[in-house]
Structure 1
């Protein structure tokens, strides 16, 4: 198979030949048709994460091996499967969304379909080759979801940005549909969050971003209000836009600065859900946490049950589409560089030849 792979940290992706995997056991081999380019791919390409005072976490120290075909937002066509996948409803040529956040497959979390919480995570596109390739090997049929009537390019984004925001939003629900929910960041995750909230019937969505272009995109997507996230006074602007301190904030950037801004805007009993992986750290005043009964909660992607629920929500056009720009798979490196430069609104989705 061909792959557009990371061969060294921070170096251009290279087109290389790799052996096409032969599925065994429960494994399913798919031909990749669509692969989203996600902000997390930037960190994988860079080879490290910023952990603030704890320094850098290098992915090679966590078991990531190069060369690696990234890409964890994948739709493909079923090609073949191992003997233990017989009788699981598979057919050659089926189009399926790939759930990428796989674990060991045998622990209690994996058996409960909470694969993303497995401590031995083996995510596709991170620890195993992903969608920046002509083929992808999926551990078992339950990691495949029928997109139904969805545009496959849009459906690919649901495997990461979709279930990531769906899972995060569910951590602050239920809420009055007219109570403000603040979203920090109006990139791919931010626009996907607006779409999911609107599909859930929520009306008071406040989007925060440093980019005027992205704030305009948030309004176009259905945000009730937008807030300039640049410079001083961001917390005060959020509180003013919401008519007071906020009960629910989802930080899709989650850097040191945005975390502080969000924390300071919380109402008594408020909840901050941290999603993004921008990097850094922030200190919280511990008496304030108790006296104001605040909750700061991390949210890591989502699980197969959430992907199936999200796809069901999206059927029939009930989930507004985010902007999607299609690029040939061979343009993986230039697409990634555009994302690094902050020149992407919505999502770039790479497509196979002839798609």
Structure 2
């Protein structure tokens, strides 16, 4: 089944509503696979990008979507990793230089080569063509940049794992969340709810730090042992010096010094949310108890596969609300209003 153009939903310009268009897809090369996309998650990064909030006008029109779950529809002559009918996913990037130190170490998301990490949408690939994301019916990717989705995870619940899942799994694994560790997740949204599930499955004692107690029942259901409101100053007094690891998922201004105060000696606060403006931090919040402030961004191909296998083993998927393609603009407004529990997923059969 050869495709030269496929239907998709795109933002024609910054801040413009998304609309249905057609976009080109290359014919599968020797090592490419053609994926029939079944579901695509809506990530907050999609909103930031199409609204021009990260300071880059990008390659408009932009077809967002880097939480992709589907089925292999065709394979190139040299493909060895996948066969037609396999359940596969595509995450936040579709290529990298493949030769730099990070790529060779399986850390393609930190590629330092000339090509750099090629984003799934709005980037320029090695063929000089703009990449178009998962809000479409099909995508062609190199087999080495696709992931195998375990049979135990429904495809619609698996799609958000390709960004939200790995974004939380990577820091939790790197900083060794597990039995005996106290982990706090800041924010119970698309990222945060996966952080609670994964940290709990790793064996850590999980606390949710949310603006209010509105989602407390959900947090406890997802695996948190404790739930506290950050709007209450008493929370920061009661929990001072408590946590080994805090993962901040929110993309808004927060008082980093206050959150650093919740860490034990030697603890780490990891930033995975990407706010529009810089966040101030006091050196004294770090040096007085040998605390660390760190960042983390998605994961490489090996770690993303590890995450999917972990989620498959533990029966983890995202909590989703399935929508039609003609509801994308409405869903964007609801994401901005934090009115989703906890990830919108597009049924791409409706595009």
Residue 5 of structure 1 is matched in structure 2 by: 10
* Aligned-partner Cα distance in 1 for 2:70–2:291: 42
| Distance in 2 between residues matched to 1:15 and 1:217, nearest whole Å | 35
Match of 1:101 among 93, 106, 129: 93
Correspondent of 1:274 among 271, 287, 306: 271
Question: Aligned partners of 1:254, 1:265: CA distance in 2, in Å?
Answer: 19
The aligned residue for residue 202 of structure 2 is 200
Say if 2:152 and 2:315, in contact at 8 Å, map to a contact too.
no
Structure 1 residue 25, shift from structure 2 partner: 4.1
Whether 2:217 is the aligned partner of 1:223: answer no
Rounded Cα–Cα distance in structure 1 between residues aligned with 2:151 and 2:144:
16
* Cross-structure match for 1:24: 29
1:170 maps to what in 2?
173
Q: Does the Cα contact within 8 Å between 2:213 and 2:228 map onto a contact in 1?
A: no
CA distance in 2 between counterparts of 1:258 and 1:320 reads: 31
* C-alpha separation in 2, matches of 1:175 and 1:93: 36
Task: Tell me how far 1:229 sits from its aligned partner.
Answer: 2.1
- For residues 311 and 327 of structure 2, the distance between their equivalents in structure 1, rounded to whole angstroms, comes to 29
Q: Match of 1:18, SS?
A: strand
- Give the match's secondary structure for 2:82: coil
Going from structure 1 to structure 2, the CA distance change for 1:141 and 1:106 (only over 3 Å counts) comes to closer
Q: 2:42 aligns with which of 8, 20, 37?
A: 37
In structure 2, which of residues 324, 333, 338 is the aligned counterpart of residue 328 of structure 1? Answer: 324
TM-score, normalization by structure 2:
0.88
User: Could you list the per-position Cα deviations for residues 157-183 of structure 1 after superposition, in whole angstroms to 9, with x for gaps in the alignment?
Assistant: 110010110001123215543x42111
- Compared CA separation, residues 330 and 110, structure 1 to 2 (3 A): farther
Q: Hey, what does 2:235 align to over in structure 1?
A: 237
Question: Are the aligned partners of 1:171 and 1:273 in contact in 2 as well (CA < 8 Å)?
Answer: no
Give SS of 2:28's match. coil
Q: Distance in 1 between matches of 2:302 and 2:109?
A: 11
Task: Report the equivalent of 2:71.
Answer: 77
SS of 1:208's equivalent?
strand
Please give the alpha-carbon distance, in whole angstroms, between the structure 2 residues aligned to 1:165 and 1:193: 5
**What's 1:264 paired with?**
261
Provide the residue aligned with 1:188 in structure 2.
190
Give the CA deviation at 1:149.
Answer: 2.1
Any conservation in 2 of the 1:254–1:274 contact (CA below 8 Å)?
no
The residue number in structure 2 matching 1:123 is 119
SS at match of 2:117: coil
Q: After superposing the two structures, state which structure 1 stretch, 119-128 or 218-227, moved more.
A: 119-128
How far does residue 142 in structure 1 lie from its aligned partner after superposition?
4.5
SS, match of residue 38 in structure 2: strand
Gaps of 5+ in 2: 1-5, 124-130
Alpha-carbon separation, structure 1, partners of 2:51 and 2:264: 37
From 143, 146, 157, the equivalent of 1:154 is 157
Counterpart residue number, 2:340: 344
CA distance in 2, matches of 1:212, 1:291: 31
- Alpha-carbon distance in 1 for matches of 2:178, 2:81: 38
SS of residue paired to 2:69 = strand
TM-superposed deviation, 1:15: 0.4
Count of equivalent residues: 335
1:239 is displaced (CA, Å) by: 4.8
Whole-Å Cα distance in 2 between the matches of residues 260 and 243 of structure 1?
12
Structure 1 length normalisation: TM-score? 0.87
Structure 1 pair 319–172 and aligned structure 2 pair: CA distance change class (3 A): farther
